[in-house]
Amino acid sequence: MSKRALLLINRQARSGQRFFAQVIDTLDNFGFELITVPSQNAQAWPDLIAYHAATVDLVIVGGGDGTLNRVVNSLVDHQLPLGILPLGTANDLARTLQLPYNLPEACRVIAEGHTKKIDLGVVNGHCYFNVASLGLSVDITQKLTQGAKQRWGILAYAITALQVLSQLRLFHATLRYEGQSLRVKTLQIAIGNGRYYGGGLAVAADATIDDQRLDIYSLEVRHWWQVFSLLFHLPRGQQQLLPWVRTIQTDAIQILTSRPRPINTDGELTTQSPAKFSLLPQALSVFVPAPDAPWLRNGY
């Protein structure tokens, strides 16, 4: 495999600045010819990918799920394979792909060259890896600060969620899919492509990022105290066991609301309702561990 790579590291990510030099040294030892761009503005990265697309063989991104979300459309447009260095707070895509969080091992995964094709979700033309959602998770995203993530790490999500849940707000939505039209009153609607989101919650117990389906759930609570049962079920992807949770599996759905509502994709606010969700099967190649990787044998 040719190893000419564009390296993009979010120095504002939880570990980005601290490990920048280590990443460069490690990849250099693995024989990569690196193009590095001294930019701390991830919003400019899609243009950087487009500029270098004809002269590199892959793109290596260091950061969290939000950082990866910023470049996904550009990666698809130029069909460049993606190497991931988990340097964010939640790292849910890395968890879904069973990537090691140890940086030298994550670099080794890329160097060994094993890839797989993954599906992507699409909402209003914007691709995403993990989960898109309306409602509760948007409120959490809006309240969650970079400072809290830097200070508390993954616990920042739980702390912020508890703060948001104290002001429980339901909304009405219409779900249209496969010839059906359903009117719901809900706390949150999540549309999953991958498996994990929100710091290790599972969108469905059997969800994978290459199963060519969207896993959808709607939290149609009646009483505020019902949300506490989610603390047990959501990490396991077993929310469908709760009678007030609606679950759907499909490859396309439209969601309408009485007023525009912001939509969260991979932890970033990227669009709003009304929204059309669809699936891009086998849309992107990503570097993944070899089947005999030691952390997989030990039950990752």
Q: Which of the given ranges, 12-26, 128-142, 169-183, has the highest pLDDT on average?
A: 169-183
Residue 258 φ then ψ, to 5°: -65, -30
Distance of CA 13 to the CA centre of its chain: 15
| Residue scoring higher pLDDT (140 or 86) | 86
Torsion (CA) 105, 110, 115, 120 in degrees, nearest 10: 90
DSSP state, 116?
E
pLDDT digits (tens, 9 = 90+) for 124-147: 999 999 999 999 877 666 555 455
What is the rounded distance in angstroms from the CA atom of residue 44 to the CA atom of residue 58? 18
DSSP strands (E only) in 130-251: 131-135, 171-177, 180-186, 188-192, 196-197, 201-202, 214-219, 245-250
User: pLDDT tens digits for 236-290?
Assistant: 888 988 999 999 999 999 999 999 999 999 989 999 999 999 999 999 999 999 9
Q: Which two tokens stand for residue 245?
A: 């949770």
pLDDT over 70 (residue 148): no
pLDDT value of residue 274:
98
pLDDT digits (tens, 9 = 90+) for 40-70: 678 889 999 999 999 999 999 998 999 999 9
- CA dist., res. 27 & res. 141, Å (int): 33
**40: alpha, beta or left? (left if phi > 0; alpha if psi -120 to 50):** alpha
Q: Is the dihedral of CA 194, 195, 200, 203 positive or negative?
A: positive
Helices marked H in 193-229: none
pLDDT given at position 232: 82
